[in-house]
Structure 1
């Protein structure tokens, strides 16, 4: 059955609407601002600078770890519930409301850090809502085309989202986010009379993310609907629990799916850590300011948009597995550089005084993180479709959500531990390398064409 272009574009609108949370919130504006505010707050308690930087990083990672645990415990059951009832749209609407409310409240993070922990809780509640809604949105993907078409659609949707991230970042940097002199990238004071002294331009990132989503999610709800044939099926909690247990048991008998889910669990966890801590690293290790981090974000997001679209075309021609392998190896190389580089040296080789080489190297790293990360995201969705029974997509993507979040606490937790034990921000990134390598190892047993034929024969 042909799928209307409106439905496909409506589905892709979710990526455009939600991407600013990750681009502006997690990585390039709010995350680094939180790190700076937290560091100043801990310095005010009498800590030395290195200890304050480390404390700021592990507090941020602790928040992500707790959010990851919450998602891990709820995603499997919610996925099974949606699969059993056939209703995804009400859940997406509910989490959208939570997302808008919590992100709007991020305005409250003042420079004195007086609401530091509460604002972190609000941010990660928004993160929980965004990720939970995404799980249901991903479950719609298999219904949008054939296996080959889905690879291109997934890549195009992710690329469309990254362009949304680029556009929103341009607006923030040009008109709102201020530097240490209280000026935006255009050299003006923030719009609307926002007070640079109170960092109101930067703090407006929360309301901006909320308003952006509320506007651009409209096409999704206009053109995407639940399947009317199953949308009103009665659902009992006991049936949902039984469905979930049956699904989990079936995975043990599917070698390709099992290795893909476990392998992607590790490499996606590592990738999320890179996204979450890239801007924090730039702020704490390289001493970058908000505007500089934002420019870095624009470069990375543009690279992600272009590379993800190209990866979608490569997926359509070669399949998703080769795209994932090349991308993850690229991310391993970037992680090694991050661990080995500081403001003063790389792998023990000192930079000349005042050298801009560490900045240039990290810009290249940003391009690689954006490009390879976007390709991994889109190609992993596509490979999951190849392991999905056509009549049970929500169940399959419930598993995908489980694998993505079951250890979502692992990378932040290990970064927290390594940073705490070493007192060093760079060495705190070591676990990310290990997680990528474990993921690559397990992909050896993943069938590039999926296991639909085997599962259909079993069922």
Structure 2
């Protein structure tokens, strides 16, 4: 029996629910900060002073994100073109799902005293590459989910649904597994379940197997209810044809002013957003000295904000179109970056605060909620606007270009953070380049047509 259209939409949204913990638990709130602590301790043991060790820790994390972003950027369009020629997306999603699960599970082996930092950095970002690559194929199904107005709503609802999954996964990890500082107990005052050894941070390290199990369980509805169209199935093409088709598409993009400027602008603002996600927990750990006890409520609040405002952003997208949503979100994120650069444990905008003041914590807590809400709505609206600019007959290649847009300069924000952090020896000032990246993306949106240019794609295809 063929799944109904409603089930197909729920199956498509199941991917967001299944994969979100890699970002919330892995990238931002549990593994990322844990990696920062382990790396800082390692560099301290090698003779670095405290500030230098923290800066080196952030630079190493940035390097991993840089390399992963480059791999995603330059493989996505080729994978997309190949999938569109064969009409098959599910086998690729299945392959990347296996890689995702194995890489996530392997994070368990990163002990607190490990010196194999680069090995686990590699493992983590292999899983991250798999998650992002699978997402490109998932996004390629989005144009078939309804009209432009319906697509905006589906995109926002799917992203919001994913954030709720991320929220539940964070609560489970904090209540039953992740240790709070030196107490050896979870945020609920419990010892980590299953007899996990708190001294070896086994509760925190369980984040890897937990992410793997969560994904394996909740990806099932996608494979049950979302199917490739048998009429689109074709022969496996020669690589020369894949490259030829991709080159043709890129040439057409160059002649489409709205598409070209949207993709170019996305390179900058999405790069900056990804950096905020990747370094939020690291910033809180290194600058404000937060432990899991503080990161837990921060994670919960920011994810709730993301879920609510991404859902609302989808509704605004459906009514007014995605472009106004994107502009508003970028403006909010610029304000966030200005505060981030100017905030330390002791001062804000150079104005000293009383020793032991809770104001820095309150400010960053608020900033985290804004990042979650604005960032989620920004991503959902961006992929909705991509549908309006995409080649109607080559959706996977279209979202391969969307991934290229989001990752081609993915090295830039982490690299600039790494360079600015190393040059200034100051973690906060390392975030200064993000302001300029958001501004560049905002300026380029001036030339983006709010209704897209799919009609021009069709016309150029008929003429060629």
Same fold (TM over 0.5): yes
Within 1, Cα distance between the matches of 2:129 and 2:296?
24
Q: Which residue of 2 aligns with 1:237?
A: 239
Q: Which residue of 2 aligns with 1:220?
A: 222
> What is the Cα deviation at residue 72 of structure 1?
1.7
Q: Which residue of 2 aligns with 1:257?
A: 259
Contact 2:13/2:161 (8 A) holds in 1: yes
Cα deviation 1:137-186 (Å, max 9, x = unaligned): 00110011011000000000000000000000000001100112111011
Q: Which residue of 2 aligns with 1:388?
A: 390
> What is the Cα deviation at residue 339 of structure 1?
0.4
Q: Which residue of 2 aligns with 1:413?
A: 415
Within 2, Cα distance between the matches of 1:208 and 1:409?
29
Contact 2:85/2:234 (8 A) holds in 1: no
Q: Which residue of 1 aligns with 2:207?
A: 205
Within 2, Cα distance between the matches of 1:291 and 1:244?
48
Within 2, Cα distance between the matches of 1:440 and 1:91?
34
> What is the Cα deviation at residue 458 of structure 1?
2.5
Within 2, Cα distance between the matches of 1:11 and 1:291?
34
Cα deviation 1:31-74 (Å, max 9, x = unaligned): 00100110011111111100000000000100111111111221
Within 2, Cα distance between the matches of 1:27 and 1:48?
25
Contact 1:3/1:145 (8 A) holds in 2: no
Q: Which residue of 1 aligns with 2:84?
A: 83
Within 2, Cα distance between the matches of 1:454 and 1:77?
23
Structure-to-structure mapping, 1:84-163, within 5 angstroms: 84-163=85-164
Q: Which runs of 5+ in 1 are unaligned?
A: none
Give 3-state SS (helix, strand or coil) of 2:393's partner: coil
Within 2, Cα distance between the matches of 1:345 and 1:397?
43
Within 1, Cα distance between the matches of 2:390 and 2:117?
42
- Is 1:62 equivalent to 2:63 in the alignment? yes
Give 3-state SS (helix, strand or coil) of 1:197's partner: coil
Q: Which residue of 1 aligns with 2:377?
A: 375
Runs of 4+ in 1 over 3 A off after TM superposition: none
Contact 1:251/1:257 (8 A) holds in 2: yes
> What is the Cα deviation at residue 3 of structure 1?
6.3
- Is 1:20 equivalent to 2:42 in the alignment? no
Q: Which residue of 1 aligns with 2:405?
A: 403
> What is the Cα deviation at residue 389 of structure 1?
2.9
Structure-to-structure mapping, 1:36-55, within 5 angstroms: 36-55=37-56
> What is the Cα deviation at residue 388 of structure 1?
1.8
Q: Which residue of 2 aligns with 1:350?
A: 352
> What is the Cα deviation at residue 396 of structure 1?
1.3
Within 1, Cα distance between the matches of 2:80 and 2:315?
29
Contact 1:177/1:291 (8 A) holds in 2: no
Structure-to-structure mapping, 1:271-286, within 5 angstroms: 271-286=273-288
The range that moved more, 313-322 or 389-398, is 389-398
> What is the Cα deviation at residue 295 of structure 1?
1.4
Within 1, Cα distance between the matches of 2:365 and 2:248?
47
Cα deviation 1:383-426 (Å, max 9, x = unaligned): 00101232221221121111111111111111111111111100
- Is 1:185 equivalent to 2:172 in the alignment? no
Q: Which residue of 1 aligns with 2:272?
A: 270
Q: Which residue of 2 aligns with 1:167?
A: 168
Within 2, Cα distance between the matches of 1:328 and 1:433?
10
Q: Which residue of 2 aligns with 1:435?
A: 437
Within 2, Cα distance between the matches of 1:265 and 1:176?
37
Give 3-state SS (helix, strand or coil) of 1:450's partner: coil
Within 1, Cα distance between the matches of 2:72 and 2:390?
22
Give 3-state SS (helix, strand or coil) of 2:255's partner: coil
Within 2, Cα distance between the matches of 1:390 and 1:60?
38
Q: Which runs of 5+ in 2 are unaligned?
A: none
Within 1, Cα distance between the matches of 2:300 and 2:287?
20
Cα deviation 1:367-395 (Å, max 9, x = unaligned): 10000000011000100010123222122
TM (norm. structure 1) is 0.98
Within 1, Cα distance between the matches of 2:438 and 2:64?
22
Within 2, Cα distance between the matches of 1:233 and 1:218?
27
Within 2, Cα distance between the matches of 1:79 and 1:458?
20
Give 3-state SS (helix, strand or coil) of 1:252's partner: helix
The range that moved more, 81-90 or 153-162, is 81-90
Within 1, Cα distance between the matches of 2:206 and 2:273?
27
